[in-house]
Amino acid sequence: MKNSKIALFIISILVVSMAFGGTGKSVGTYGALELTIPTGAKGVALSESNLAVIGGADAMFYNPAGIARLSTSMEAQLSQMNYLADIGVAYGAFVAKVGNNVVGISAKTLNFGDILHTTAEDPNGYQQAHFSPKYITVSASYAKMFFDRVAFGATFKMISETFIQTSASGAAFDMGVQYKAADLPLSIGVTLKNIGVKMRFDGNDLEHQLVPQDAEEGTILENFASVAQAFEVPASLDIGLTYNLMNMVNIHGVFKNNSFGFNEYRLGADYALKTDAFSAWVGGGTSMYSVDDDTEGWEDAITANPFGISFGGGFKVPISSFNLGVEYGYKSSSLDGLNDLSVLAFTFGF
């Protein structure tokens, strides 16, 4: 009876989400999209479909409830991703048990490389000046196990974006739950992500010296500041299911209800091998857009999913007093001019 009630609750959320979210009319109206860039390697390899069972430091981005399933006293993860258009994404996370609770911190930075600085006076960049935007997201998480099968977690994020002398900052939070059925090899995960305040760019680069409109001849220049439009952060509701076959094969599925674009379906599967001294996994996945608007005449760049199949693998081995994990994830890009994603992640458990 209890399992039936939980299943009915999840189905109700899914129906409501499908009715009210995911529209192409929101594409391009949101900012801080670095919050949607995945971290780690396994989530990338499985197309972010494993939020119902993900655990440890790897869970901070996907479902903060998962850090409550930390198998060691503490765990750290470091990863480096080659993202679209040669953007580098560096990520680090650390989680630790504190009594019956688990807490964690993480940081994600983007490296855009050196970009030629052009101005109205130097539109071709002959002065050879360069700049590099700075995107940093710092997070803190808390999670706790309730009973043996239910975990809850929350994450608070601070967001900073800087272009030369113009910047925007904001804050957002995630909440997540994970539930493992008692009589079925089924796990359920729900995550509410990136619920935050609006952000707005401000700074010296938005100031200009102009002659006031309708001013008399000889009027001196006055300082004017352009006011940038405030923008929302990319909130979403993710609902995931994982079915375990023979204790070695996991089938994953996620419905992602986006506030900033089309809804998505994410599918994945992995094969896991575990012994007392060694564990390994291999898996893959894919994702699909749910295009439910009248998109006739829209460009494929808007209506087409920019990502294709994904795959990866990894292993963990004990070395002295800690466990070392090495994982690799790859996701293909289907749009011309954009590179495929690849990420290498290292995990250290103590």
Distance between CA atoms of residues 305 and 187, nearest Å: 27
| Mean per-residue pLDDT pooled into runs of 10, the chain (350 residues) | 50 50 70 94 97 96 96 96 92 97 98 86 83 95 92 97 93 96 93 94 83 72 82 94 94 93 94 90 95 74 86 94 95 83 95
Q: Under a CB-based contact definition with an 8 Å cutoff, are residues 172 and 157 in contact?
A: yes
pTM: 0.88
Half-sphere exposure of 80 (CA within 13 A, CB side): 3
Model pLDDT, residue 10: 52
CA–CA–CA angle 65, 38, 78 (5° rounding): 80
* Phi, psi values for residue 309, rounded to 5°: -75, 160
Please name which of 51, 17, 64, 8 lies closest in space to residue 236, comparing C-alpha atoms: 17
- CA–CA gap between residue 105 and residue 321 (Å, rounded): 23
Per-residue pLDDT, 18: 47
- pLDDT value at residue 295: 74
1: Cβ contacts below 8 Å, ≥ 6 apart: none
CATH homologous superfamily for the domain 2-349: monomeric porin ompg (2.40.160.40)
- For 203, the 3-state DSSP assignment is strand
Q: What angle (nearest 5°) sits at the alpha carbon of residue 192, between those of residues 191 and 196?
A: 150
Position 99 scores a pLDDT of: 93
As a whole number of angstroms, the distance between CA 145 and CA 74 comes to 16
Given a contact cutoff of 8 angstroms between Cβ atoms, the answer to whether 349 and 322 are in contact is: yes
The structural domains of the chain, with segments of one domain joined by +, span 2-349
pLDDT given at position 192:
93
